[in-house]
Structures are given as structure tokens and as C-alpha cells.
A and B are shown apart, each in its own frame.
Chain A
Amino acid sequence: MSAHADTHDQEEHHHHKETFVTKYIFSQDHKMIAKQYLVTGTIMGVIGVMMSLMFRMQIAWPEEPNVLFEALLGKWAPDGVMDADIYLALVTIHGTIMVFFVLTAGLSGTFSNLLIPLQIGARDMASGFLNMVSYWLFFLSSIIMVISLFVEAGPASAGWTIYPPLSALPMAQGGSGMGMTLWLVSMAIFIASSLLGALNYIVTVINLRTKGMSMTRLPLTIWAFFVTAIIGVVSFPVLLSAALLLIMDRSFGTSFFLSDIFLQGEVLHYQGGSPVLFEHLFWFLGHPEVYIVILPAMGLVSEIMATNSRKPIFGYRAMIASILAIAFLSTIVWGHHMFVSGMNPFLGSVFTFTTLLIAIPSAVKAFNWITTLWKGNLQMNTAMLFSIGFVSTFIVGGLTGIIMGDSALDINIHDTYFIVAHFHLVMGISALYGMFAGIYHWFPKMYGRMLNKNLGYIHFWVTAICAYGVFFPMHFIGMAGLPRRYYTNSNFPLFDDLANVNVIITIFALIGGVFQLVFLYNFFSSIFFGKKTVQNPWRSNTLEWTAPIKHIHGNWDGEIPHVYRWSYDYSKPGHDEDFVPQNIPLKEGEEELQH
């Protein structure tokens, strides 16, 4: 297979002339597509974060006039006071954008595309064309999602989980009209994009590995992307079916999710459906989705940690086994989102059992990361800091999962701020850290220049402190019973003593949000003015650093490197350097580490 690819590619790729359009816009080159994903994801991220800052200000200083609201929200903030409808819309779109557009497409899309061909030693993805279509579908869905913000009756505002009947009936909520239609269309296109991408990743990893690159020599990044793609293929179609059935209910009068509804003085015709069915379908994707978000981050962190510790990742095989275990378990735990949905309590027992099992592979991973640091020679590059930060937030967020996943405890903290704190730490902040780590680490590979390290340090430390400052106290207001998605708590004097906590949280959020500008500046200015990189700045073992700095179609001039060892031969005794790239043949008498 690879021999064939070699000769074929050399003939074709080097001689064909690229126009501006084929190089920068409708590119089929995986490296360009990765950058397109990254920039689109970053822009969506800016929108998503700005929304969160706005609703955080509303929570901290409820119903107070705010010139920022007046400027940005227009008719939704008469005299600068945020409207209750737009509050829910902001919460909804923030969740949608961050989960799908930033942490799924922006993270997995960027790094799967960039790293899969480069790290397995392939000239490009299995299908460059499908890859291009995948990106442009993602772009289209982003555009539709952004357009939905400007709809007359407001964007979708039923929460990112869009439970019907609220999301199905425009009479129930303004945002459930055209805004929700656009949301559903956007998500349907997004799912198509994800599936095309995932299929491509799977096929590429299975078929296009270079000579010598056996599955047990793959870097953990590739394992993570590979398994993530499989989870995506298994679960995203189910969300598509939920979306299609919801569209049918909304537009064609079917009753998949609706029954016995009396709204605004009349009985609606729907009969026989159940919102609980939608919850099952939604969470059948919705839960694996958090692993679609976190697994690539785990892969990136494993790779970056090993490189910067100058040590092999500890327990390579256990890491792969835990990725597989997490992937398998992730598809049978969705019911823990529905303990109090009215489903049979026996199901609750089953889902408690499977859910708490996930803590085992997760614990194994955390311990392996910590042991990787032990007796290392840690190079504190910004990517390394974000990787350590990742493990820290993953632990603190993961531990509270033991509470959330226990059905008996979930009764009292379900849908309070406790869950908001939990999932933001374990999959929001963690995955974001993974993404930042990846950007700092592979920026030289993407743009041929380095990011400024001191700006990176400032970015990391402020972000780390603010992330804890925002989400750690949030657990406590959750345990005090404060429900999420409340526009204001001022109707509940019971919660008056929590108001100052909300102010503290918002201040941390604002500082953290503003300091992301440091990153944006660093990112965009370094693309053009950053210091030029050397071939292998982090002295890493993986194949992408053997490719020339300047991007060429087909990745390597001449032959694709062959692989003789796994990617974690750092500080291996018997070698002068503290790293041995995968394409260096074994010395005479050297044993490969394979158990």
C-alpha cells in the first residue's frame, strides 16, 4: 500500500501548480485543512466565550443596566438590562458552540487532520476531497449557527440539550421558532461534517501507516484520534436521527416526542410520543460526545508530556487499554443524565454501575501521567504547562463525577451549579487546556514559526488561576441547591447569601476571559512575525518533525521515512541524545521496548 502511494504521489503532487483558491480555500491538503479548522474554531471560541462573560455578568449583577449588553445585544437589552429570553439563548448557544464547534471540530478537527498523516507517515488523508468537504460543511454549519443569532424571535434557547417539548413548540418559547430550525439545520450539517472527517481518520490510520508503523508503535495521539473517530461514527448518527425526528415533530406534525400538551389555551394534537425518548437519543450521543472532546486532548497531553519530560510515557499499553475501555464504557452510560427524568429506577441502578466503572480507566490514566513526570527532566514549555494543568483539572473535575454518577446523590444536585462546575472542569477546561497545549506544541509545525514563550507563560498562569477561581467555588453554590439556567436568583431570598460567590466567580471569569487576548495576540502575530523555527524544536521522536518545515504537498521530499521503534524512546540508555526519533533504526544489539 505505502509503496504504491510513494511512487504515485511523487509523480503527481510535486508537479501540480496551486492557485490561491486551491491552496488557501478549497485546499485538499490536510495541513491547510487543519489550519482552517483551527482558525474557524478559534473564531467560534471567541464568540462562545464572550457569550459566557455576558451571562456571567447578568448572574453576578442581575438586571443591572450594562452598557456592554446595550451595545452587543441591541433590542434584547432595552436600556442595557438583559432580557430573560436572551439570557437563555446565550446559555444555549454558548454550550452548543463550545461543545461542538470549538472542542469537537476545533480540537479534534485541527489535530486529527494535522497529525494523523504526519505521525503515521502518510502523504495525506485517505481522501483529500472528503476531507475538504468535511471542513466546508463545518464552515457552513458555523455560518448557519452564527446567522441564527440574528433571527427576529431570537436564537435557540432551550438549553444546548434542546429537550422537547420546549424546543419543539414556538409558542412555548420565542427561540423555538426560526432560531431552533436553524440550530437543527446547522447541527445536521455539522454531524455530516463530523462523520466524513471521522471516516477519513479511521481509514487513514488503518491503511496508510508507513512501513514499520505497527499499531503498537503509534503515538498515543493517533490512538486517541482513532478511537475518537470510532466513537463519533457510532454515536453521531443517533443525534442526527433525534434531530430529524424533532424536525418532523416541529414541521410535519408527527408526535415522536410530544404528547398531551395544553398550551396557550388550546390542546395540541400531539399524542403518544415521549420527551424521554428524545433524552435517550440525545444522550446516546451526548455522553460519548464528552469523550469525543476529551480523548483527543488526552492523546495530545500524553505526547506532549512524554516529550517535555524527556521520558517515555508511563504504561503505554495501559494507556491504550484505558482509551479503549473508556470508549467502550462511554457508549453505555448515557442514562446517568436521566436519573430523575422519570425513567425506571432500575435503569438508574444499571447506569450508576457502568458510570462509576469509567472512573477506573480514568484513574489509571491520571496515575500514569503523574508517574511520567517522576524522575523526568521536565522542560517547562508552555505546552507542558497546559498539559500539567490538564491533568490537574481532569482530576478535580473527574473526582466530582463520582458524585454526579451516583444516582442517589444526583437527586439533589442534578441541574444545579454543581454539575456546571463538574463538566466545565472535566471536559471544558481540560479539553481547552489540551487544545492550547496542542497549539503551543505544534504551532511550529503548522506555521513554521514559534509562539512567544513568555506570553505563553502569562497566558497559562492567569488562565489556570482563573479557571480554578471560577469553577471551584461553583461546586459549593451547587451543593447549596442553586439551580442552573436561572436568569436571576433575586426571587429566592434563600440564595441571597450566595450572591457574593457569584460575584467572585464572575470577576475571575472576566479576568480569565480578557487574558485570552494575550493568546490571540500571540497566535495571530506569531503567524506572521514569530521567530522562525528549527526542524525539531522540542527534540521530539515522532515523524512529523522529520518532515520539512516548509509545507509541501505529500509531506516528505522523496521517500516516506520508515519506522523502527515506538515513539517514546526518550533518555534511552545507550544513546547520546535524550531522544531517538522513530525513523532511526535500532542499533546492533538494541532491544525494542515491546512486552
Chain B
Amino acid sequence: MTALLTILVLVFVLIAIWQMVKIFDLAQANSKNSQIANDQDNKLNGYLMLGFLAFIYILTIICCWKWGDLPLMSNSASAHGPQIDNLMVITMVLIFIVQTITQFLLHYFAFKYKGEKGRKALFYADNNTLEFIWTIIPVIVLAGLIIYGLFTWNEIMNVDEDEDTLVVELYAQQFNWKARYSGEDNTLGKANVRLIDIDRANILGVDESDPNAQDDKITTELHLPVGKPVLFKMRSQDVLHSAYMPHFRAQMNCVPGMITQFGFTPTVTTEDMRQTPQMIDKVANINRIRVENSKTLIAKGDDALERYEFDYLLLCNKICGKSHYNMQMKIIVETQEEYDAWISEQKTFANSLN
């Protein structure tokens, strides 16, 4: 019944708007309106063009001022993070300059040269020098960006797997994440989803006969020692997922049937990150919002929202089904000692089987 009423109301609202537009339309009919822009229209729209230019600039300033200093633009927590952020800032500055100038020219010309009866436009069809200039300038600027970008990309993607690297498997399934640590031998045991044996609690399909697999440790939280390079080997058991760790400027898809990889070195522990002034502000702001939202919840008889405390997160960033929006894992970056203590508490694969 409510549905029917809603549709009726909607229909009436639409009819009302339709009628209002029609009245407006009819009111115009008597005037000598040719529906072709006259000088008055040109003038009005010329000024509106200037107004729109102001709107763009103001919107830009407001956005930068209110949301420009988002912790993801700075405050990265991995060794390669500052490189990406640098490149991002340089590109951004460049883009803002070009945006500001070209939008100005476009809208200012639209205002300045608004049509007037009797004026004749300049017959100006071509200029090879100009074409050359605005071909060559983007070429040079882009060449710089391409080279800088490629160096950064190569550095990030070329991971050498040496003795010192911690190898961790990220395992994705609808709709959660698991991590598998390689144990003392620092070698992950072989695995394939065909070996999954739910009855024996072998949920990741680890090869039980592989000696390297015996000391592997499967966890539901990701702990990383600070300052130590970590190489993620990613697997998915069902559909595409994407391991997105925004604070570490890291992302890689998890693809069923193949192993993908991404490596980085975490540089800031969770504890230290919580203490940065930026993060303190952000968390305080978020908690203010949560308290505000809790008021309406309590009024409705629901529980208040929990206080938020910052944690690094691993999010799924490739559409993977119904609960895609809630596929996350907590990441904890800690000192080597804390990490050692935590990992030694975890059960080895051999001991976890039924």
C-alpha cells in the first residue's frame, strides 16, 4: 500500500513539475521569441560563463581546503609510499595549473567574445607555429612524467626475494581474508584449492605432504614487523579479489588459478601512526561524527557506535559478490619483538589439522 501511495505521490510530483514547466513555456510563447539566441541571451550567458568559472574555482578551493589534506595524500606507512606521494603531488600541481589556466581561457573567451549584432568574427583558421607549440609542450611535460612514473613503478614492482624478506601468503575468499606465514624456513608450502579438505580443517588447500608446509601458520590478522621487507604471495579460491592496503600504497588483484605478488616495507608501527598529529585529528573528527550519529541511534533504541581507534586495513577492492563491502582484515605493524611474540603463539599448520 505504501508502495502504491509513493508511486502516486511521485507521479503527481512529476505532473506538477511538468505543468510548471509548461506554464513557464506558455508564458514565453507570446513574446517574439525566435528560439535563436539574440544579443540579450548572449550577454546573459556570457556573464553566466564568468559566474561558472568562479563556481569552478570556489568549488576547487573548498574541496582542497576541506578534504585536500587527506591522510592518504601524505602520511604513507611504507618505504615506497613517499615516492608515490611525491609523484602524485607533482602531477597534481601540474594538473591544477593547467586546469586553472585552460578553464580561465575557455570561460573568459566565452564571456569576452559573446556575440553582438553587426560584429564580425576574425577569420583565423590555422597557425602551424601555435599547433607546434601546444604539441611540443605536452610532449616535454609528459615525457618527464612518464620517465619519473616508470622509474617509480619499476622500483616498486621489482621485488627481490632475499634472505631478509618475510614471505606471507594472502588468501582471499568470499568474503574474508586469511594470511599464511611461511614459518621458520621462510618458505611457503605448496598449495592448491584442489587440496582443500574441510573435514581436516585444511581450509587453504595446503599440501600436507610438503615438508615446507608443516611450519606454516595461518592467521586471520596480518601482523608485520616494522622495517622488514615483506613479500605477499596472493591467491584466491573463488572469484577475483583485490588486496588493497591504502596506507601502504599497495594493491594487487588476487586471481583464481594463479599467484600474484606485491612487496613493500612497512615503516610506521600502528602505535606510532596513531600518535601522528594528523591521525589524532582525523580520529578525533571521526569520533565526533560517531558520537553525533550515535545520538540518533540511541533515540531509536539501538546501541551506540563503538569508539573508533585507528588501525591499518586490508580491504577488498574488486567487486566479488554480495558482501564485497565488508571484506576486510586488520593489519598490525609492530616491532620485531612484538611480532616474534605474536607469531610464536600461532599454531603451525601441522598442528592445526584435525
Contacts and interface: CB of A to CB of B under 8 A. Distances in A.
Interface string A485-501: 11111011110111101
Interface string A407-421: 111011011100000
A370 B109 contact: yes
Q: Which of B60, B98, B127 has the most CB of A within 10 A?
A: B98
B50 interface: no
Interface residues of A, number: 144
Interface string A381-418: 10011001001100110011011001111011011100
Contact of A259 (B33, B153, B257, B315): B257
B256 A258 contact: yes
A370 B115 CA distance: 16
Interface stretch (B177-185, B210-218, B320-328): B320-328
Contact of A340 (B22, B70, B142, B251): B251
B36 A411 contact: no
B280 interface: no
Interface residues of B, number: 137
B352 interface: no
Interface string A503-547: 000000000001001100110010000110000011000000000
Contacts of B2: 67, 70-71, 80
Interface stretch (B143-151, B160-168, B265-273): B143-151
B91 A403 contact: yes
B90 to A, nearest CB: 10
Contacts of A310: 115, 120-121
Interface stretch (A2-10, A223-231, A283-291, A342-350): A342-350
A499 B87 contact: no
Contacts of B253: 340-342
Contacts of A265: 198
B276 interface: no
Given A345-B157, A499-B289, A492 B18 contact: no
A411 B109 contact: no
B125 A312 contact: yes
B176 interface: no
A166 B321 contact: yes
Nearest to A278: B240
A352 B153 CA distance: 10
A359 B134 CA distance: 11
B131 A318 contact: yes
B97 to A, nearest CB: 10
Interface string A572-595: 110000100000000000000101
B116 interface: yes
Contacts of B63: 472-473, 475-476
A209 interface: no
A483 B244 contact: yes
A571 B194 CA distance: 74
Given A376-B122, A453-B36, A359 B255 contact: no
Interface string B268-312: 000000000000001001100110010000000000011010100
Contact of A342 (B34, B260, B316, B322): B260
A481 interface: yes
A537 B67 CA distance: 47
Interface of A: 67-68, 70-71, 74, 80, 84-85, 88, 158-159, 163-166, 169, 172-174, 258-263, 265, 267, 272-276, 309-318, 340-342, 345, 348-349, 352-353, 356-357, 359-360, 363-364, 366-371, 373-381, 384-385, 388, 391-392, 395-396, 399-400, 402-403, 406-409, 411-412, 414-416, 450-455, 457, 461, 464-465, 468-469, 472-473, 475-477, 479-481, 483, 485-489, 491-494, 496-499, 501, 514, 517-518, 521-522, 525, 530-531, 537-538, 568, 570-573, 578, 593, 595
21 contacts: A166-B321, A260-B256, A313-B125, A341-B253, A345-B153, A375-B122, A376-B113, A377-B120, A381-B37, A385-B45, A388-B49, A388-B106, A391-B106, A392-B107, A403-B91, A407-B153, A411-B251, A481-B244, A492-B313, A496-B286, A496-B289
Given A412-B72, A538-B36, 8 more contacts: A163-B240, A173-B322, A370-B106, A374-B109, A395-B103, A402-B94, A409-B87, A481-B244
